[in-house]
Amino acid sequence: MTQPTPAPEPTTGPRQAPIKVLLADDQALLRSAFRVLVDSEPDMVVVGEAADGAQAVDMARASGADVVLMDIRMPGTDGLAATRMISADPELSAVRVVMLTTFEVDEYVVQSLRAGASGFLGKGAEPDELLNAIRIAAAGEALLSPAATKGLIATFLAQGGSSGEGPDSAEYAERLAALTGREREVLVQVAGGHSNDRIAERLAVSPLTVKTHVNRAMAKLGARDRAQLVVIAYESGLVRPRAE
């Protein structure tokens, strides 16, 4: 019997529909540049443009956006406030926000992650980096490379974070108690900016096992994604960064 010919690899990934992207920036020129870039890709499409945070929230609801590229600094309702509003809205629970910053690490990075952003990206990033960021966020992952996490930790230290004495620390402590020993180990590794593959090597388990532990930790801690796990790890005092 003739063996069937393997099906060709899909050209646009596993998603049946293109990733719907909403652009939120008060600079029209930047929005236009982002639109041309995003619309040039077969697996994504721009579904709207917003000039301020309030408009971004309204358009996120109306457009069914999967990912919002959100500038932090905008007049009126800024990107931080808009991200908090999106994160707090149950109807927008599937929307992922990528914060756009003038500098890759600035004073607002920690605040943006606390607000519910899935990560951050410098406005000076290469086009491929921006497109990859959209795909990563749409897949439910976090834009927290080891280098970015080091910057996050440095900012956290500068703000006096990781004391385990914040307003949410008691709630986090209760949730952390529900984690297994292995889930805590994995959470510490995630907070260090390590990928699933790297964590698997360090803990001598499979990447699939690591992914399972990460997903269970997110469920128990009420984290939207991997970025929120990092914030919780430091907010709760489970991980205390050291200045290098």
DSSP-derived secondary structure letter, 5 = P
Q: How confident is the model at residue 36 (pLDDT cuts 50, 70, 90)?
A: very high
Q: What is the pLDDT of residue 159?
A: 57
If DSSP codes are grouped into helix, strand and coil, which group holds residue 99?
strand
User: Which tokens go with 111?
Assistant: 């605040």
Q: Do 196 and 212 form a contact (C-beta atoms < 8 A)?
A: no
**187-201 pLDDT per residue, tens:** 998 887 787 888 999
**130-170 pLDDT per residue, tens:** 998 899 888 877 666 555 555 565 555 555 554 444 445 66
In this structure, the strands spanning 67-71 and 44-50 are: unpaired
Q: What is the mean pLDDT of residues 23-31?
A: 94
Cut 0.75: pTM above it: no
Domain 161-234 in the same topology as domain 17-152 = no
Residues 53 and 74: their CA atoms lie apart, in Å, by 7
Q: Is the pLDDT of residue 171 over 80?
A: no
- What topology does CATH give the domain 161-234? Arc Repressor Mutant, subunit A (1.10.10)
Tell me the average pLDDT of the chain. Answer: 80
Q: Is the pLDDT of residue 204 over 90?
A: yes
Q: How confident is the model at residue 82 (pLDDT cuts 50, 70, 90)?
A: very high
Return the domain boundaries, the chain: 17-152, 161-234
User: Which tokens go with 187?
Assistant: 């959470």
Q: What is the mean pLDDT of residues 12-31?
A: 83
The CATH classification number of 17-152 equals 3.40.50.2300
Q: What is the pLDDT of residue 167?
A: 46
Please compute Rg for the chain using Cα positions: 19
